[in-house]
Amino acid sequence: MNKQTITAFILFLTAMLHAQNAQKSDKLFEDQSPMELKLSYSNKDLNKNTDDSTFITTSMGYLHEGKWNEIEVNLRARGNFRRNQCYFPPVKMKIKKSQYSETIFDGNKTMKLVLPCKIESENNDNILQEFIAYKIYEQVSPFHFKTKRVNIEFTEPKGNNDKVFQLKGFLIEDDKRVADRHEGKVMERFIHPMAMQHTTSVQNAFFQYLLGNTDFSVAYQHNGKLLYVKKEIIPLPYDFDMTGWVNPSYATVNSTLGIQSVQDRVYRGFKREQQYFDAVRAEFIEKKTSLLDLVASFESEFSDPKEFENMFEFMKAFYEVLEDDSKFEQKIVAQARTK
Distance, in Å, from the CA atom of 205 to the CA atom of 268, rounded to the nearest integer, reads 7
The pLDDT tens digits for 103-138 are 999 999 999 999 999 888 788 999 999 999 999 999
Residues 307 and 172 in one domain: no
In a domain, 130, yes or no: no
Assess whether pLDDT exceeds 80 at residue 1. no
Domain boundaries, position 40? 27-114+144-176
Residues 243 and 155 in one domain: no
The answer to whether the CB of 90 falls within 8 A of the CB of 113 is yes
Against a cut of 0.85, is the pTM above it? yes
- Integer angstrom CA distances of residue 19 from 24, 107, 177, 183: 9, 12, 11, 9
Would you state the pLDDT for residue 23? Answer: 60
Question: In the predicted model, what is the mean pLDDT of the chain?
Answer: 91
The pLDDT tens digits for 19-73 are 544 568 899 999 999 999 999 999 888 887 666 678 999 999 999 999 999 999 9
Residues 101 and 203 in one domain: no
Would you state the pLDDT for residue 228? Answer: 97
In a domain, 153, yes or no: yes
Q: Are strands 67-77 and 110-114 parallel, antiparallel or unpaired?
A: unpaired
CA nearest 301: which of 4, 32, 30, 70? 32
Burial 284-308 (b: 16+ CB within 10 A, else e): beeeeeebeeebeebeeebeeeebb
Assess whether pLDDT exceeds 70 at residue 214. yes
Pick from 12-16, 50-54, 264-268: least confident: 12-16
In a domain, 185, yes or no: no
Residues 165 and 260 in one domain: no
Number of domains in the chain: 2
Which sign, positive or negative, has the C-alpha torsion 250, 251, 255, 256?
positive
- Integer angstrom CA distances of residue 23 from 14, 101, 259: 14, 13, 44
pLDDT more than 90, % of the chain: 77
Residues 299 and 221 in one domain: yes
Would you state the pLDDT for residue 242? Answer: 94
Residues 104 and 163 in one domain: yes
Over residues 85-94, mean pLDDT: 91
Residues 172 and 202 in one domain: no
In a domain, 131, yes or no: no
Would you state the pLDDT for residue 320? Answer: 98
12 confidence band (pLDDT: 50, 70, 90): low
Residues 163 and 245 in one domain: no
In a domain, 221, yes or no: yes
Over residues 76-101, mean pLDDT: 89
Residues 89 and 230 in one domain: no
Assess whether pLDDT exceeds 60 at residue 167. yes
The pLDDT tens digits for 277-324 are 999 999 999 999 999 999 999 999 999 999 999 999 999 999 999 999
Would you state the pLDDT for residue 10? Answer: 47
Residues 148 and 33 in one domain: yes
In a domain, 165, yes or no: yes
Would you state the pLDDT for residue 159? Answer: 79
Angle value at C-alpha 161, between 158 and 162, nearest 5 degrees: 65
Residues 169 and 41 in one domain: yes
In a domain, 274, yes or no: yes
Over residues 232-244, mean pLDDT: 96
196 confidence band (pLDDT: 50, 70, 90): very high
Residues 32 and 164 in one domain: yes
Would you state the pLDDT for residue 116? Answer: 94
In a domain, 270, yes or no: yes
Assess whether pLDDT exceeds 90 at residue 265. yes
